[in-house]
Amino acid sequence: MDYLYSDVSYRIYRSEIRELLKWSRKPGVISFGGGLPDPALFPCQDIADISQKVLAEKGYLALQYGPTRGEPEMLEALAGHMIECGEEASQEQICITSSSQQGLDLLSLLFIDDGEPVLMELPSYLGAVQAYRRCGADMRGIPMDDDGMDITRLKEELNTLKGEGKKPRFIYTVPDFQNPSGITLSLERRKELIAIGQDNKIPLIEDSPYRELSFTGEVLPSLWTLSGGKGVIMLKTFSKTLFPGMRMGWIVAQTPLIDKIEMIKQSVDLCTPSFTQLIMAEYIKSGKLRKKIDEAIQCYKPKIEVMLEALEKYMPEGITWSKPTGGMFLWVRLPEQLDAKEIFQIAIEHNVAYVIGRPFHCTDAGKNTLRLNYSFSPLDQIEPGIQQLAKAIQASLDKLA
């Protein structure tokens, strides 16, 4: 049978990254590829105990359809969790999602029409690039430096769009320990970005999966907090701080927007599973969430320290990298003449894997970049893995000599 596919289906491509990472399953390969939490942190017994309690006490709710916006118990728990993190929001300003990726999907459906521009960091989170591309967005990338999105370049792009008679539907940013770069948007630029959004009446999408994973104990105020919630929509998830298998996230926005998002969500999945919501609500209320986040920080901090030391020790001259103070990733820039995809095959021969950087760009840029994850690999594998990666890069440089 010849199927008549939609235009949207032709905008979706098989993930180049996932295809390459199949090679990382080769025995003996040290993988700095996927953005995975350390499974040693998973609170399996706690979740088993809470699951039994939820089924015994609230099975009539846990196994039933629930409200689209979320179980009241979970909304209450999240509001309390956000206050604890310095990000006050009312229950009426929260909508539960099946991970923050669904949040990106819902916001794409809410804001993007075919051909309409959106502004985003260059590089930016791959899941956002995929979601916006599927909706036919005209994605305009704004370069970054060590302080985050370049505000001067942002203003220039806004002027360019104005000259084209266009206005961006929103500005998308991951301000804290960004994926893929690990860079944090400075306080000054946060304030400038909010001013730009409010002056031009452009919503800001603040994707915030890593904010709690600060290795210094310090974190800058979120865009949501700085703006008082005006003009900012925040995406949150437990996939990075806790366990991605639960697929639990939430959107924070002013109530009229949440009402609109709730209607769109009804057409997508009716509701996020009640069972997982009630488990997570109980986990948060027990105080175990805060302790688990602290455990994650203590687990990941020595890993990034070892990786940064190994990069300094082994990398050839001309290679640069970010120096994150939280999150799960750092960004490596190779000389312009090198292609991270070509080096990947050499790296696999050296028993090390990473993620190529080009797919994180909404343009054709980034072929000489790559992302390293330090949260998943055992601590004792990080230095030898970086040593082997350095050898693979040096071998590529030698070919050009």
Residue whose entry in the numeric block shows the structure tokens 């350390």: 38
Q: What is the pLDDT of residue 295?
A: 96
Start and end residues for every CATH 3.90.1150.10 domain found in the chain: 8-43+290-400
3-state secondary structure of 381: helix
Report pLDDT digits (tens) over 60-88: 999 999 999 999 999 999 999 999 988 99
pLDDT in tens, 116-167: 999 999 999 999 999 999 999 999 999 999 999 999 999 999 999 999 999 9
CB burial of residue 40 (10 Å; 0-12, 13-18, 19+): exposed
* Residue 399 pLDDT: 87
Instruction: Please give the Cα distance from 324 to 340 (Å, whole number).
Output: 21
Q: Is the pLDDT of residue 17 over 70?
A: no
pLDDT band at 13 (very low <50, low <70, confident <90, very high): confident
Spatial distance between the Cα atoms of 210 and 390, rounded to a whole number of angstroms: 27
Cβ neighbours of residue 30 closer than 8 Å, sequence gap 6 or more: 351, 352, 353, 377, 381, 382, 384, 385, 388
Give the mean model confidence (pLDDT) for residues 220-224. Answer: 97
Cα–Cα distances in angstroms (integers) from residue 318 to residues 292, 310, 350, 386, in the given order: 39, 16, 21, 16
Query: What is the average pLDDT score of the chain?
Result: 94
- pLDDT (tens digit per residue) in 268-327: 999 999 999 999 999 999 999 999 999 999 999 999 999 999 999 999 999 999 999 999
Nearest-angstrom CA–CA distance, 196 and 153: 12
Question: In this structure, what DSSP letter does residue 246 have?
Answer: G
Question: Looking at residue 6, what is its pLDDT?
Answer: 86
CA dihedral angle for residue 227, residue 229, residue 232, residue 236, rounded to 10 degrees: 120
**pLDDT, tens digit, 9 for 90 and up, residues 90-102:** 999 999 999 899 9
Q: For 170-180, how does the pLDDT look when each residue is reduced to its tens digit (9 = 90+)?
A: 999 999 999 99
Mean pLDDT across 9-13 = 81
The pair of three-digit structure tokens given for residue 78, joined into one six-digit string: 């999240």
Mean pLDDT of 263-271: 95
pLDDT attached to residue 354: 94
**pLDDT-derived band at 21, boundaries 50, 70, 90:** low
Per the CB < 8 A criterion, the answer to whether 141 and 118 are in contact is: no
Give the span between the Cα atoms of 112 and 116, in whole angstroms. Answer: 6
What percent of the chain lies above the pLDDT cut of 70? 98
Q: Which of 97, 78, 100 is nearest to 89 (CA)?
A: 78
The C-alpha atoms of residue 145 and residue 140 are separated, in whole angstroms, by 17
DSSP structural state of residue 334? -
- Spacing of C-alpha 346 from chain mean position: 28
Query: To the nearest whole percent, how much of the chain has pLDDT over 90?
Result: 87
Choosing among 3.90.230.10, 1.20.81.30, 3.90.1150.10, 1.20.120.1200, the CATH entry for 8-43+290-400 is 3.90.1150.10
CA-wise closest residue to 126 among 358, 397, 366, 389: 358
- The alpha carbon torsion through 313, 316, 318, 323 (nearest 10 deg) reads -30
As annotated, the residues of the chain forming the CATH 3.40.640.10 domain(s) are 44-286
For residues 205 and 170, the answer to whether their CB atoms sit within 8 Å is yes
Token pair for residue 241? 């701080």
Q: Which residue has the tokens 């209607």?
A: 263
Q: Which CATH class is domain 44-286?
A: alpha beta
